[in-house]
Amino acid sequence: MPEVERHSYDVVVIGAGGAGLRAVIEAREHGLSVAVVCKSLFGKAHTVMAEGGCAASMGNANEKDNWQVHFKDTMRGGKFLNNWRMAELHAQEAPDRVWELETYGALFDRTADGRISQRNFGGHTYPRLAHVGDRTGLELIRTMQQKIVSLQQEDFAETGDYEARIKVFAEVTITDLLTAPGKAGTNAIAGAFGYYRESGNFVVFEAPAIVLATGGIGKSYKVTSNSWEYTGDGHALALRAGATLINMEFLQFHPTGMVWPPSVKGILVTEGVRGDGGVLVNSDGKRFMFDYIPTVFKGQYAESIEEADQWLKDNDSARRTPDLLPRDEVARAINEEVKAGRGTEHGGVYLDIASRLPAAEIVKRLPSMHHQFKELADVDITKEPMEVGPTCHYVMGGIEVDPDTGAAKVPGLFAAGECSGGMHGSNRLGGNSLSDLLVFGRRAGLGAAEYVEGLGGTRPGITESDLETAAKTALLAFDPPADGTPENPYTLHHDLQQTMNDLVGIIRKEHELKQAIEKLAELRERFDRVSVDGKRQFNPGWHLALDMRNMLLVSECVAQAALLRTESRGGHTRDDHPGMDPFWRNKLLVCSVDPDDFGQTVPAATVTPADQIPMRDDLLALFDYTEVQKYYSPAELAGHPGATP
């Protein structure tokens, strides 16, 4: 067996984005030893790309804002499929998490009277996004890293070793989680196996608790705002270890990705552009969003240009602009306009901020957007409109967790951030991810710490045969294929992206989804013959082959769940089943892998419907009866104060 470097920790956090770092801080604050492992360089996680801001009802821009309003907006955005307990905790705790970041050294933009400034975003009733220009994610990561360094300095002062309690393993990819019979006799987490991307050398972390914080799955799609790290690793690691995924049919296609020039296709234009007054216009020069206010949002959005523009000046005296409807609605509207022949030359629509704000103000409020378009596309957004269209952006689906602790189905496994599921239901509101990372990163770190403390010293062990199997699986792509026709991982990846884009994209149809499932089965067969040249030292083809293992499994979950859900809700639009179906409102689609298949390189996924736990009466009562009537059955609303006896 190849040599394997060994480490032992109380908690291993896989992922060094916002969720991972917040979990590290929490577990370390409880005195535990923590390893943080990440695929890329430390400080370069996907969170760094977050632009618009972090949603928290601090009430600085409008004092009517509070956690109840934020909770209601989040549930509406998710079309009432959200895990309501997560939405409640998130809305209640987000302001404290933002303020806490300032104690770590973050400095958010300020209002004129010195409070944290908050900006408008789609689906949020009041200006709610705490931000640092359009570089909020960078500030979030920078300050949490700073906090980690300060904790390491405390550890040095006490033990003489900076890494006594927190050690970073950068550019290490985890390929498998290891389990063993735990305290209750069932399989529990025993550790994680991976490799150094540079040397190809193997490494194992023995730990009774693992927090997955690996982010999303966007690299399974051709047009995406996501970075190379988003290959669904955490989702697949969890499934193969015996945990479940939920809501995988719900993918957010952000309405405003760049569509031109081709070199930057898919790159995001933050919703902050519309929050600061930018408007969507079709090729006839019409602000078309007024034509796309869906029935469930009627009455909540401005119905004329004058009213929308008045709302920008003072959001108490008018209703909000439909340019800021939730993302699923705006993405579908753009799709319709393009389909109707009112799109731009390159298949998008125009997003115009140039005619709405003075150039200096645009550069001040949106420095990264201005820089990105100027440098990468030679478009000056202070002078001309951008061409934008939907891009695969965020996965609402993820690892099924306990809302309070982040615990997944396997004892010792925890998850937080984009790789976990439930919080956002069928559609996430912009800005609700950064706050999700902070709230549930902390909770998962705490959950893991309490779990380890509860073990009282007994830890599941890792066997040599576990290591041999993990190493053998990781090296499969170096074996010559049995039938002599090798598959190139890049070709396979390209074919997967094309399949997902064309057949499981923004608008879905039964026959296309069935076709996708057949294609995915073919791709899985082809994957068995995937072969790479060269050695284990920095070998991108090998890295991709390992990532493909995860993308194929996760894509299967997305396609199967999308076929089963015969309705349109949030980030899942079925052309053959337009509109929401009350039957599906309380149904979760749960993805799992049969325990007999755990050992397979890419096991088959099974998707089964399960009932959602009904919302607590006091939370349901926060909504007007007439609003929840649009989603709930009379029986479900029997306890609502507005129900007639």
List contacts with ligand FAD (CB under 6 A).
14-20, 37-40, 45-47, 49-54, 136-137, 173-174, 213-215, 225-226, 229, 233, 268, 394, 417-419, 430-434, 437
Q: Which of 364, 180, 369 is nearest to 264 (CA)?
A: 369
Catalytic residue, chosen from 22, 28, 128, 274, is 274
Look-up of token digits 């039957």: 583
Phi-psi region of 459 (alpha: psi -120 to 50; beta: other; left: phi over 0): beta
Catalytic residue, chosen from 254, 327, 428, 577, is 254
Q: In whole angstroms, how close is the CB of 129 to ligand FAD at the nearest point?
A: 7
> In terms of CB distance, is 238 or 615 closer to ligand FAD?
238
Quick check: helix, strand or coil at residue 31?
coil
Q: How far apart are CA 110 and CA 107, in angstroms?
A: 9
Phi-psi region of 204 (alpha: psi -120 to 50; beta: other; left: phi over 0): beta
If one counts every other C-beta atom within 10 angstroms of the C-beta of residue 564, the result is: 15
Q: In whole angstroms, how close is the CB of 77 to ligand FAD at the nearest point?
A: 12
Q: In whole angstroms, how close is the CB of 292 to ligand FAD at the nearest point?
A: 23
* Residue type at 562 in one-letter notation: A
Is 169:5 a contact under the CB 8 Å cutoff? no
* Residue type at 344 in one-letter notation: T
Question: Which are the contacts of 292, defined by CB distance < 8 A and separation ≥ 6?
Answer: 322, 325, 329, 330, 332, 333, 336
* Residue type at 394 in one-letter notation: Y
> In terms of CB distance, is 437 or 605 closer to ligand FAD?
437
> In terms of CB distance, is 18 or 505 closer to ligand FAD?
18
> In terms of CB distance, is 238 or 349 closer to ligand FAD?
238
To the query of whether residue 640 is one of the catalytic residues in this protein, the response is no
> In terms of CB distance, is 270 or 335 closer to ligand FAD?
270
Q: How far apart are CA 297 and CA 125, in angstroms?
A: 12
Q: In whole angstroms, how close is the CB of 54 to ligand FAD at the nearest point?
A: 6
Question: Which are the contacts of 199, defined by CB distance < 8 A and separation ≥ 6?
Answer: 536, 537, 538
Quick check: helix, strand or coil at residue 57?
coil
Quick check: helix, strand or coil at residue 251?
strand
Question: Which are the contacts of 298, defined by CB distance < 8 A and separation ≥ 6?
Answer: none
> In terms of CB distance, is 326 or 417 closer to ligand FAD?
417
> In terms of CB distance, is 172 or 561 closer to ligand FAD?
172
Quick check: helix, strand or coil at residue 120?
coil
> In terms of CB distance, is 72 or 254 closer to ligand FAD?
254
Q: In whole angstroms, how close is the CB of 206 to ligand FAD at the nearest point?
A: 17
Torsion of CA 432, 498, 570, 217, to 10 degrees: -30
To the query of whether residue 90 is one of the catalytic residues in this protein, the response is no
R_g of the chain computed on alpha carbons: 24
Q: In whole angstroms, how close is the CB of 245 to ligand FAD at the nearest point?
A: 15
Q: How far apart are CA 312 and CA 601, in angstroms?
A: 53
> In terms of CB distance, is 54 or 410 closer to ligand FAD?
54
> In terms of CB distance, is 215 or 343 closer to ligand FAD?
215
| Environment class of 433 (CB within 10 Å of its CB; exposed 0-12, middle 13-18, buried 19+) | buried
What is the chain's length? 645
* Residue type at 156 in one-letter notation: F
> 68 φ, ψ to 5°?
-65, -40
User: In the numeric block, which tokens belong to residue 253?
Assistant: 């296609």
Q: In whole angstroms, how close is the CB of 141 to ligand FAD at the nearest point?
A: 8
Q: Which of 64, 100, 22, 607 is nearest to 314 (CA)?
A: 64
Q: In whole angstroms, how close is the CB of 408 to ligand FAD at the nearest point?
A: 15
Q: In whole angstroms, how close is the CB of 309 to ligand FAD at the nearest point?
A: 24
The residues facing 611 across adjacent strands are: 587
Q: In whole angstroms, how close is the CB of 239 to ligand FAD at the nearest point?
A: 13
Q: How far apart are CA 122 and CA 326, in angstroms?
A: 5
Q: In whole angstroms, how close is the CB of 203 to ligand FAD at the nearest point?
A: 11
Sheet holding 11-14, edge to edge: 166-170, 34-38, 11-14, 209-212, 413-415
Q: Which residue is nearest to ligand FAD (CB)?
A: 17
Q: How far apart are CA 145 and CA 158, in angstroms?
A: 20
Q: What separation, in Å, do the N-terminal and C-terminal C-alpha atoms of the chain show? A: 71
> 487 φ, ψ to 5°?
-105, 135
Q: Which of 446, 387, 19, 458 is nearest to 208 (CA)?
A: 458
> In terms of CB distance, is 18 or 460 closer to ligand FAD?
18
Is 222:497 a contact under the CB 8 Å cutoff? yes
Active site residues: 254, 274
